[in-house]
Amino acid sequence: MTQRVIKTPYSILVPSFAICLATLLGGCGNGEQGQPNVLLVTLDTTRADHLSCYGYGKQTTPRIDAIAREGVRFDAAMSTAGITPMSHASILTGLNPYSHNLRVFWGDAGHRLPPDIPTLPEILATRGYETGAFVSAYPVSAAYGLDRGFETFDTGLDDSLGELDLSQQQKHDSHWFDGPRSSTQRRGDQTTDAALAWLGERGSKPWCAWVHFFDVHDFSIVPPAAFAARHGVTYDPSVSPRDPDAREALYDPELNFVDTQLGRIFDALKASGQDQNTIIVITADHGQGLKDGKARHGWIKHRLLYQWCLRVPLILRIPGNAPAVVESQVRSIDILPTLLEALDLAPPAPVEGKSLLALARGETEASPRLAYADALNLVDTHSPKRGLPAHCIDNLFCVSDGRWKLIHHGQHPENSELFDLENDPLELRNLASTHPQHVTRLRAFLEETRAMEVRAEVAGEEDAAAAARLHGLGYVGD
């Protein structure tokens, strides 16, 4: 099975949520003629500093760069987590993890978005929008509740995975695979094909589409050999795709491959005349350590809360609005309220994000936006710890005002870290002991929001198929 389509009947939504939507948004209706479409693109595991429009020395993203020139580029956008489901939940809800409560990956409570939290597609569907999601990997699947509100939810995953045992899955996803899909993920061209087919079927109603690319995250599935060869990359079957040198060599080509696929979508919108009636948001869920992350902080992957993991690209293009660059710190939780303001809609429930449109117009704010992130998977019994810096095996809570950044260690506060991002952007000097006033000030946010009240330690239902998928992607195991 290569496609899943989920119908979401709003008559069975949580009653209080449905009433709230009807009150604030004025009922369902059949959509409003002329309402802009919304295209939300999320690039998994993509560091902002590897996009050419963010000053990278290589031309990795020419098609994204073109959208950035037409829109607003936010230079200091912060994610809420270094793991895919949690950060995507924040994008879709406008809430920090301690509010939306999708906080861990697997095995304990708090690993699914609660049904009473409104999401962007649910809100837009009540105004007659047709909603479709085209995602590329299990970590953004319905297993985490991220399908809610999407009438079409296309994963491309093979549901026969349940027939595989863990050893088979581990063997399958630890070797190069140059086909278009595996049981845990699919290549970006396959996701693009599905999105284009759906877009080609749309009529006069406005639509909201979420397109998610996983290519940069995991190199078990790689671009076609001919594409890689143009970047001087060949696939050596004797080398694991999890090898650090292999990861580094493929990171930029994978990003360029995704950019090429996005170009197909942009071209289709232009050919159909929809490009001037479509709001485009391009962002990422988190970054990746790579070799410089290893050199600075001892970690090559993600999950941690340093800037190479939390600083993400964020590009907003609203047809007719002037292009701009915003340097002040913003958050991924700001995306939902921004889109709602652009569509002249009110949120059906309180959100923690704040619209970016005033900043995009050049207005200034009296005080900086505090950015929050956490990492509660580092001590989870199911999460791999091998190679993690010992001091990071903790529940981590991050607060940043754009200059000062605190990473609070919940179990071992003596290991907490404070960085002056203005003078130490690489986060090499821990100033927690010499600047306690900033530690106290930023920690007050954690106490006021009760962010450190982590999930109850109760066992979740074990699912062999879920375990196999997550093991194959490196999230579960030794």
Give me the percent of the chain exceeding a pLDDT of 90.
57
292: its two tokens: 């410089």
Q: How far is the C-alpha of 279 from the C-alpha of 20, rounded, in Å? A: 26
CATH number at 10-369: 3.40.720.10
**Which band of pLDDT confidence, cut at 50, 70 and 90, is reported for residue 16?**
very low
Q: Are 118 and 349 in contact, with CB atoms under 8 Å apart? A: yes
> Following DSSP, what letter does each residue of 108-151 receive, concatenated?
BS--S--TTS--HHHHHHTTT-EEEEE--BGGGSGGGTTTTT-S
- Kindly give, in sequence order, each residue whose CB lies less than 8 Å from that of residue 57, ignoring residues fewer than 6 positions away: none
Question: 301-312 burial, b for 16+ CB within 10 Å, e for fewer?
Answer: bbbbbbbbbbbb
Please list the alpha-helical segments (H only) found in 298-412.
307-310, 335-342, 357-360
Q: Say whether pLDDT at 152 is over 50.
A: yes
List b or e across 201-232, with b for residues whose CB sees 16 or more CB atoms inside 10 angstroms: eeeeebbbbbbbbbbbbbbbbbbeeebbeebe
What is the DSSP code (8-state) at residue 49? G
The domain limits of the chain are 10-369
Arithmetic mean of pLDDT, 387-391 = 71
Positive or negative CA dihedral for 315, 321, 323, 327?
A: negative
pLDDT over 70 (residue 353): yes
Q: What is the DSSP string of 150-181?
A: -SEEE----GGGGGS-HHHHHHHTTS-B-SSB
Give the Å distances, CA to CA, from 396 to 115, 373, 410, 444.
26, 8, 6, 15
From the number of C-beta atoms within 10 Å of its C-beta (0-12, 13-18, 19+), residue 115 rates as exposed
Residue appearing with tokens 């863990």: 166
* pLDDT tens per residue, range 120-151: 999 999 999 999 999 998 888 888 899 999 99
Residue 48, helix vs strand vs coil: helix
Distance of CA 420 to the CA centre of its chain: 26
Residue 298 has pLDDT above 50, yes or no: yes
Using CB atoms within 10 Å of the CB of residue 101, give its burial: 0 to 12 exposed, 13 to 18 middle, 19+ buried.
middle
Indicate the range of 40-44, 122-126, 233-237 predicted with least confidence.
233-237
Q: Are 85 and 305 in contact (CB under 8 A)?
A: no
Give the C-alpha separation, 363 to 269, whole Å.
Answer: 31
pLDDT digits (tens, 9 = 90+) for 393-434: 788 999 999 999 999 999 899 999 999 999 999 999 999 999
Q: Please state, in angstroms and rounded to a whole number, the distance separating the CA atoms of residues 433 and 416.
A: 9
Tell me the pLDDT band of 195, cut-offs 50, 70 and 90: very high
Q: What does the pLDDT read at residue 32?
A: 55
Q: Which residues of 355-367 are buried (b: 16+ CB within 10 A; e: fewer)?
A: bbbebbeeeeeee
* Range from 120-124, 148-152, 176-180, 278-282 carrying the lowest mean pLDDT: 176-180
Q: Does the pLDDT at position 175 exceed 50?
A: no
Q: Provide the whole-model pTM.
A: 0.85
Query: Of the ranges 48-57, 244-253, 277-286, which one carries the lowest mean pLDDT score?
Result: 244-253
Q: Which of 267, 210, 213 is nearest to 40 (CA)?
A: 210
Contact predicate 91/169, CB 8 Å: no
Average pLDDT taken over every residue of the chain: 82
CA angle in degrees (0–180, nearest 5) for 152-158-160? 125
CA distance 379 to 394: 6
CA–CA distance from 359 to each of 68, 276, 282, 334 (Å)? 16, 22, 17, 11
Strands 130-134 and 207-213: parallel
pLDDT at residue 465 in the model: 56
Q: Residue 443's pLDDT band (boundaries 50, 70, 90)?
A: very high
